[in-house]
Structure 1
Amino acid sequence: MNLAALIIQLISGALGGNAAGALSEKASLGTLGNSIVGALGGGVGGQILSSLLGLGGAAATSGLDIGTIVSSFVTGGVSGGVTALVLGLLKSRLAH
């Protein structure tokens, strides 16, 4: 596991979670909730997506390059946004 890639995935996951919350106010968990859920989803989901897609394998041996940064940002952001959106929708459905 590349620690720099994980940090990028956590940050981009928080950003993705807040973007998902802003796009769907019904599914928003609030700024703090979207950030926390997005960061967790970005870290875990980003690591899973990177493993499944075979991204970042060379980064562990060659250091951090622009490809690793971009792939970490995309996988973390997407998985963080999806996680926040799904949990927000579940929360809104259970509240009614």
Structure 2
Amino acid sequence: MEQILINLVGGAIGGNASGAALKQFDMGTVLNTVAGAVGGGVLGQILTALIPVLQSGNLDVGSIIGQLVGGGAGGVILQIIAGLIKSKMA
């Protein structure tokens, strides 16, 4: 459960960071957060399945950083995709 929360937080941070950095894909704070959290949760779970070190039952610094980075990357990716779709529809 902690791993999912870390992924969601990392994704939300990544989604907001990419929205702030790439204004053409910015959807506003709430939508950036939601898209980032969803992307972070999904990619974080995929990475957890592919990289066994991230599955360790104990929360050491390395696994937490790995989860945050994976979640952040997923958040950035999904936020950019959603922002691209929104900008094309407008």
Output the TM-score relative to the length of structure 1: 0.87
3-state SS of paired residue (2:54): coil
Partner of 2:27: 29
> How far 1:55 sits from its partner (Å)?
3.7
Q: Which amino acid is the alignment partner of residue 91 of structure 1?
A: K
Contact 1:55 1:71 in 2 (8 A): no
Which of 63, 70, 74 does residue 68 from structure 1 map onto? 63
Partner of 2:43: 45
Q: Which amino acid is the alignment partner of residue 10 of structure 2?
A: S
Larger radius of gyration: 1
Unpaired runs of at least 5, structure 1? none
| CA–CA separation in structure 1 for the residues paired with 2:31 and 2:38 | 11
Q: Number of residue pairs matched? A: 90
Q: Which runs of 4+ in 1 moved over 3 A?
A: none
Output the TM-score relative to the length of structure 2: 0.92
Does 2:72 match 1:77? yes
Percent identity, please: 41
Q: CA RMSD in A?
A: 1.1
